[in-house]
Amino acid sequence: MAEIILNVDVRDGVGTGGARAARRAGMVPGVLYGGDKAPVAISVNERDFRKSLYTGKLLGHLVTLKYGDESQPVIARDVQFDPVSDRPLHFDLMRVDEKQTIKIEVPVHFINQDQCEAFRQGGSLEIVRHSVEVKVRADHIPEDLIVDLAGHKMGDTIRWTDLKGTEEVEPTITDRDFVIASIKTSSAAISAAADEAHDAEVAAEAAEAAEVEATEQGADDEAAAEDTAEG
């Protein structure tokens, strides 16, 4: 993965007014915090910030912050967006040491859905956790944790120990093998099965009625034949 570098400026103005001024100047305002230093108001060129953000490798990963000739490793903790335009409005960076163990949310990705027989049988994936908080060294943060759905069956419960990519991380939940997702019969499949059972029941009743009718008709025909013979 290519290294992401954020070239930042220190903002003089803080608060809402300072943030608005930064946005008018084509910058995204942010805050650098953590370590044994006070928080610092910073800003990044919006175009450069968008490029880094849309790689998908900015949030939750170790990146390099540069201010003039100084540089330091940081973790992008949060980005706030405009709900209408989706424009980045503010971000938070946390100072870290590359070898420091931190707690961070890592996304869970599901692969090989097309190789899961349960889905062809009408099953559906019920996701309990889209991400998992783990403890990991800052320079070993995985991009994601993987669930391989190939070979899973209807009714399977997928837990932490089923994940791939956990070799260098430890979950913050340690008292149980917690659930990530499960494969259940979908409501549509249940409805289809019920309709099929109903149709089968109706067909059986119709067949039984036809058989009774045929028996009665045979008896009537036999009786009519006897009357004709006696006459």
Residues 124 and 77 in one domain: no
Q: Is 150 within the bounds of a domain?
A: yes
Structural domain that includes position 84: 5-96
Residue 56: band (very low, low, confident or very high) from pLDDT cuts 50, 70, 90? confident
Q: Is the pLDDT of residue 57 over 60?
A: yes
Percent of the chain with pLDDT over 90: 51
Please tell me the predicted confidence (pLDDT) of residue 29.
94
Please tell me the predicted confidence (pLDDT) of residue 229.
58
Residues 146 and 178 in one domain: yes
Mean pLDDT computed over every residue of the chain: 84
Residues 19 and 92 in one domain: yes
Residues 86 and 157 in one domain: no
CATH number, residue 59: 2.40.240.10
Residues 91 and 19 in one domain: yes
Minimum mean pLDDT among 44-53, 56-65, 100-109: which range? 56-65
Residue 193: band (very low, low, confident or very high) from pLDDT cuts 50, 70, 90? very low
Q: Is the pLDDT of residue 206 over 50?
A: yes
Q: Is the pLDDT of residue 204 over 70?
A: no
Distance of CA 51 to the CA centre of its chain: 23
Q: Is the pLDDT of residue 5 over 50?
A: yes
Section 43-57 average pLDDT: 90
Q: Is 206 within the bounds of a domain?
A: no
Section 221-227 average pLDDT: 57
Instruction: Identify the domain boundary among 96, 113, 134.
Output: 96
CATH number, residue 152: 2.170.120.20
Give pLDDT tens digits for 103-130: 999 999 999 999 998 888 888 999 999 9
Please tell me the predicted confidence (pLDDT) of residue 227.
58
Residues 46 and 28 in one domain: yes
Residues 132 and 59 in one domain: no
Q: Is 203 within the bounds of a domain?
A: no
Section 20-45 average pLDDT: 90
DSSP 61-76: SEEEEEETTEEEEEEE
Give pLDDT tens digits for 122-178: 889 999 999 999 999 998 998 899 999 998 999 999 999 999 999 999 999 999 999
Residues 85 and 143 in one domain: no
Helix (H) or strand (E) holding 178: none
Please tell me the predicted confidence (pLDDT) of residue 160.
97
Q: Is 215 within the bounds of a domain?
A: no
Please tell me the predicted confidence (pLDDT) of residue 1.
43
Section 2-19 average pLDDT: 81
Residue 163: exposure state from Cβ atoms within 10 A (0-12, 13-18, ≥19):
buried
Task: Using alpha carbons, select from 95, 158, 96 the residue that is nearest to residue 132.
Answer: 158
What is the biggest distance separating any 2 CA atoms in the chain, rounded to whole angstroms?
124
Residues 67 and 118 in one domain: no
Residues 11 and 78 in one domain: yes
Q: Is 191 within the bounds of a domain?
A: no
Q: Is 140 within the bounds of a domain?
A: yes
Q: Is the pLDDT of residue 65 over 50?
A: yes
Please tell me the predicted confidence (pLDDT) of residue 224.
54
Q: Is the pLDDT of residue 223 over 70?
A: no
Strand partners, 32: 40, 93
DSSP 2-46: PPPEEEEEE-S--HHHHHHHHHHTTEEEEEEE-TTS--EEEEEEH
Question: What's the domain count of the chain?
Answer: 2
Residues 27 and 88 in one domain: yes
Residues 119 and 89 in one domain: no
